[in-house]
Structure formats: structure tokens, C-alpha cells
Structure 1
């Protein structure tokens, strides 16, 4: 039996702010509310409202917009980080929850943009993501889907910041699990694509220290961004050839999002020092333009690496790139890595380097490479494999991984 949409009763200091929510339409982000509350502990469910039908999923029995407290992942000193309000959504599958509750997929979404208007809980899911998430629902998983820090709530979106993504994901789980009406199991699989794949991998790495009470059984990641093996002088071999530098490249949109966030949050990284006039204009558009229209901006403006950047952007943005690094490559639970054989957004070789390095670190890795498939196509093609991986985790079966086979194939 799925729960009726309910409002969560907050502790007394928050009740005055919560009254404002009764005046708001379902799934509208309560910005005034988010600015008023001062949550003291992470993972506290501040509000749960019905999600607008247009933003739900076809195979969900019910869908809920949520707002919860989460630790600031962008704080200079993590030990002194305060609490923020973060938003997200919960989707429940159709049917009757099994004994112990619905197993949970913690969904970490891919790049959507950095403007509040791009937050996934405020928009219909893309066709690709809707198909993928519906597949998990049909498998009998509830989905807890964070929007991430600063996406749909006050403050800059912590784009590709590993700690912030992990906090947002883990605290969304804490909040959802605290609501017994949702009938969620403690069995959790973290699932992510692209930006979300990096978030999922990072979340698995941060979980034991940040949220040790959560039972993270494993991780599924597709199209995982990774720096790959560095050159002898310590540089990342990304778009290194002259031809790659001079062609129009939609992946520039991702760098413009990094530049826009850094420009908003870090005075030491003014965008005009690295971006051309053409690049600065595009970065301004990136502040509020969601990802698919942003790809169009890149194509319409004919942006290439040579006409967008005045200097080496990798070196200039070393600080935000470092904030995107994984806390460890040795994960406590098994990880499934789905890799497109024709992925140019998160280059195939870089992802295969992640497999090799994670195996060397001692992680249990089940890696699958899908020949000829790009960054996006891999998501749904991989499901027939990742669902079996997840099913083993939920049923308590051992996952042995395929590190040895992958190492042999890469030689």
C-alpha cells in the first residue's frame, strides 16, 4: 500500500517556516522557506509534498517532492560545514511492498544545468532517464532522487563536487528512510549516470565515514567521468590533439558550467582570465541554460577549445577539478561500471582506466563495455546487466566481479 501524500511535522524551530508551504503548489520549490529554516542535523525531512504529475514517472504508484537538510559540501573546512536545504523526489513502485519494505535505488542524475530552473524535481525527466528509472521501478525498487546541493535551492550548484554530491545523496536517503509511511527497506543500491556516475562512485567512497548507518550494498555507474592516467608531467590527456582542439565540441558546455560555478563562488578564479570574449558570453548563458539548450548554444556559436579558452583550462580550474576527485578507489561494496565503447563525453579509455585503477585498489568491480555505444546509449543498454548485478546484492548473493577478465581484455 503506497502512502498518501503527507506533510512531515518538523521540530518546533522549523514550524513557523513550514506554514508557508501550505500556500505553495505541489512541487514548486519553496525558496522563501529554504532561506528561513536553519536545520541543525543532516538528513532531516523538512517537507514532503505530492510531485506534479508532469514530473512523475509512468511506472510510479506515487511520487513526492522532498526538501531535507544536508551538510554543505562546498565548505572550506568540512569539519565546520553548516546545514543547507536540499530538494529531490521519491518515486514508489506499483504493487505491495515486500516484507521489510521496498529496496531503494539512490538515483544520482547526470548533468542538467546549474540554474535552479534545471532541477530534476521541477522538470519532466528526459526520455532516456524516464525509460531507465521506470525500468528500476518495474524491478520493484523505490527511487530516492536528489537534486544536489544548490540545484533548485539557494546557493550555487556544487557542480561535479564529489563531497557535495555525496552529502546530498546520502542525506536524501536518511530523510526518506526516516519516513516510515514510504515503506522503504534499508537495502540500498546507488545508481548514477555521467555527473551522477561520478556522484555515485564518490558517494560509495564517502558513505562509511559520513553515513555509516546506511546499508549501501553496491553501486551502479554508467558513463563515469574520470581523469584517466596522467601524462608523465601530471597532465590530463583530454582533447589533446590539434584536430580535437579546433572542432566544435558540445562537451565544452560542461566546462562552461564549471566556469560559471567557480565564477560565482570562488573570487580567485575570475572567468575572464581563462575565457575568450566568445567564451564569456557562452558562460553567461550557462548560468541559466539547461543542458540540451546549452549544447545548442555551443553548436550555434561554433565553440571549439581554441576559440573558447585563452589558456589551459585544465590547469586554471585545477581546484574545482580536484574537488571532483573520488575520496578513494577502494570501495567497501561492489561496483558495476557500464562503459560505452564510443563514449566521447567521458572518454572510453578514461573509464577503462578507472576500472583498472579500482581493481588495483582492491574494489570488487563488474565492468561491461558496450561496443559502438555512446555516452547516452549505454544507459539503457546496460540495464539488462546492471539489474542482475543489483538483484544479487539485494538477495545477499556474492558478487565476484571481473577484474581479471577486464585486465586480460585490455592488454
Structure 2
């Protein structure tokens, strides 16, 4: 039997209820982490630009160095592309000074009075290997089209690679505070050092980047109160990720009937990238102690490849959790997934939420639950469903609604919430 969207939604509703119980068990972005030896690494393969040998400023958002992007990485609608390296704060322990890479794309033409308005782009899942950093490699064609659309509106685009992507140390994949601090400090570094930029910023993200964008909106008022963050655009919003454990178990249980599906393979790739970060946050944890022979082979791919080859490897080998991990992962994986939590769902600025009705990467029901909870908390939410659109295709289709949303934000016009009309996914 084919896994239908109804089956996915029903499974996720049950899993989401479980996640609220798991979240109540504590965890999250703890401030006391125990230094430890870490054997899993995905470092290397990038240029010396990504290695800072000087002292790291304790002030976050300081531009350390910049260089021109290779021509192939300058977006077609950009007049100039600049790779940047800047100081930030480790999002897991909340205090250690680190450095993060990213890039800035400037639109063509003459900046308006006050400078180019800024889109802070939070990218989706690319992997955890340094070579996957968007400032190092050529972007996915969909993202090129999407960012070109914002550049064509006369907005500069500043993008963070996120902590540990490109730069040393394992990328804390789906750790919300790490994503937020990286994005916020990239904004700081860009605005302080490029006078052609305005101080007005709208945060935009998709998938992992939707989580990063939402987290940035949540942490912004406390971590970077000086920034003028006007609002947020997010498509394919992750939420209550602790429920991924129950969800994956339910899908895996269907394999004898349905066969191995690409839906399962995609979700496993997301989950297992996240599980790799356990060494960052659990004292004395070594990932290799929990892997089978197949698991060790899989994580060697994770350490050196980006998302496409990782998903291909899972699907070609039809891997399920018991193939990769030597024992039940629930206890330690739950601890890791606590780091995905948002600090709040009450946001200072309006939030645009775009959901494709055929999204199975982040099932529609969980995106609805995010909008529902944010509305209940008093946030201004403009939510849209896109009929027949997937996790991927929603990004470009949603521009029809997100462009006017962003135009209103930069123009200082009010956003009308549609929380009163919010309905579960069709």
C-alpha cells in the first residue's frame, strides 16, 4: 500500500502529541557543555579563507575578512558577490567565541537613499561537510532562481553558511540557536561594513532555513536587539522535531507493506544528519560506539558528501534505523533533538508561513501546528497553502504572496494576520 498523505498526517499528529511530552523532559539549548574528544568530523576540502588564524573577537558580528566570490557563484541578478568571515557565538553553549562564513550578494544599479534593504537568507539542508557550505559551492538552481527574485526587487541578500559549515567544527545541524546566532551575526557584519546596505532586514528561509529564520526571529530581540528585523518569510517550517522519532518508527513499520519509500529515505537523511551532532552536546558520547558496520560506512559518506549523494546512498541501500545504529536511539536522539526547539512562538514581527499541500519532507500537519501555536501566542501570521505543491516547489510558487508581504514590511505598512481563518491542511 502506498503511503498516502492522510497516513503521513495522521501519523504525525500522533507523533506531535508525543513531542510535547518529550519537550517537557528538559534539554534544549543548555549553557553547560562538557568538553570532550570528538571523533566524527566533516571538516576540510575548502580553501584557507575558511580558517582564521588570529584571535577571535569576543564581540559577535565583527567582519574578519572578505574576498570576491568566483564568477560562477555570483548570482545572475547580482552586481557583486562577496564571501565573508565573521565572529559569532557558539549556539550550543551560548558563550564561546567562534567564526562563521557566508556571503553577500549586492543588486545591480544604484542603492536607494538609505541603502539597499536586506534579505537575510537562511539556507535549507545541504549536509554537514564543509564542502557543502553555500559560500563555497554553486547553489542549487531553485535557490538561484529564488534569490534572484529578491535581488530583482532591489534587495541585497546576506547569507550565513551556519556554524561549522565551511569553518572548523561539526555543523550543529537543526540546532536552532546555532542557526539563529550565525544568521544574526552575518547581518551585523554585513550592515556594519557595507555602507550601501540599509539597516532594515527581513529574514527569509526554507526547510532547515525556515527553522533558522524562525529561530532568528525568536532570538533576535535578546541576542541582537539593535538590529531592525521587520519580519520573517518561511516555507516548509520544521516544528516539534522530537516527534521525528515516533514518525520514523511508524514509517519504518510500514516498510514490509509499502516497501522502502523515498519519503522515508529523505526523512532518515534529515534525522541522521541531526543525530551526528550528539557528540557536540552529550558528554562522553562517541557516535562510533552506536554504529553498525553499515552505519560507519554511511557516516563516512556524510563526512564527505552533500545532501544529494547522502539521500542516494540511503535509498540505494534501503537503509532503516536498525541497519545504521546498533541499539535503540530514542534516549540520546531525544536529547539531541531538544536543541531544535524554538525559544518562543511569540514573534515581534509578522511571519509569513508557506506550506505546499504535497509536502512530505515537513508534513503539512506540523506546519499547520506551528502556525496555530504562533497564532495562539499572539503572533501576526500570514499563512498560505499551495495546492499541489511539494516541499521543493512551494519555494518559488510562494513568491506570488511573499513578495508583496516583504514589500509591505520594507514600506512600513501593516500586515493583516489571517489567524482567524487558519484551517488544518486540506
- Report the TM-score when normalising by structure 1: 0.86
**Residue 268 to residue 343, structure 1, CA distance change in 2 (3 Å):** farther
Aligned-residue offset at 1:266? 4.0
Does the 8 Å CA contact 1:66/1:87 hold for their aligned counterparts? yes
Question: Aligned pair count?
Answer: 375
- 2:122 is aligned to 108
CA distance in 1 between counterparts of 2:180 and 2:336 reads: 16
Greater shift in the superposed pair: 125-134 or 367-376 = 367-376
CA distance in 1, matches of 2:330, 2:417: 33
CA distance in 1 between partners of 2:237 and 2:130 (Å): 24
> Could you tell me how far apart the structure 2 residues matched to 1:238 and 1:388 are?
37
2:185 counterpart SS class = helix
Q: How does 1:46-125 map to 2 (within 5 A)?
A: 46-75=64-93, 78=94, 81-125=95-139
Equivalent-residue separation in structure 1 for 2:363 and 2:324 (angstroms):
21
What SS does the aligned partner of 2:266 have? coil
In structure 1, what is the equivalent of residue 238 of structure 2?
A: 225
Which protein, 1 or 2, shows the higher relative CO under an 8 Å CA cutoff with sep ≥ 6?
2
Q: Distance in 2 between matches of 1:132 and 1:70?
A: 27
Give deviations 1:35-66, integer Å, cap 9, x for gaps: 43321210001112111111110100111000
For the residues of structure 2 that align with 1:346 and 1:383, how far apart are their CA atoms? 19
Which residues of 2 match residues 255-404 of structure 1 at below 5 A? 255-263=271-279, 266-272=282-288, 274-404=290-420
Work out whether residues 218 and 335 of structure 1, in 8 Å CA contact, stay in contact via their aligned partners in 2.
yes
Structure 2 residue runs without a partner (length 5+): 1-45
Aligned pair in 2 of structure 1 residues 82, 271: CA closer, same or farther (>3 Å)?
A: closer
Question: Matches of 1:244 and 1:305 in 2, distance apart?
Answer: 12
Give the counterpart of 2:219 among 186, 202, 206.
206
SS state at 1:187 partner:
strand
Structure 1 residues 171 and 345, CA gap change in structure 2 (3 angstroms) = same
**Aligned alpha-carbon RMSD (Å):** 2.2
Asked if the contact 1:355/1:367 (under 8 Å) is kept, the reply is yes
Distance change in 2, residues 1:230/1:299 (3 Å)? closer
Q: Distance in 1 between matches of 2:314 and 2:125?
A: 15
Structure-2-length-normalised TM-score: 0.83
Structure 1 position 265, deviation (Å): 6.1
Q: Deviations over 1:298-342 (max 9, x none)?
A: 122111345344555454311221111000011111000111111
Instruction: Note the alpha carbon deviations across 1:132-182, whole angstroms, 9 max, x for none.
Output: 00000001110000010111111111211111111100000110001144x
Q: Identify the residue that residue 20 of structure 1 maps to in structure 2.
A: none
Distance 2:241 2:84 in 1: 36
Distance 1:46 1:197 in 2: 27
Contact 1:274/1:316 (8 A) holds in 2: no
* Residue 39 (1) aligns with residue 39 (2): no
1:210-247 C-alpha deviation (Å, 9 max, x unpaired): 0000010000011111127969xxx7545524216862
CA change 1:71–1:146 in 2 (3 A) is same
Matched-pair contact (CA < 8 Å) for 2:248–2:268: no
1:184-195 paired onto structure 2 within 5 Å: 184-195=197-208
C-alpha distance in 2 between matches for 1:142 and 1:84? 25
Aligned residue in 2 for 1:251: 267
Cα 1:278–1:40, aligned 2, differ >3 Å: closer, same or farther? same
Report if aligned partners of 1:335, 1:365 keep a CA contact under 8 Å in 2: yes
Aligned to 1:30: 49
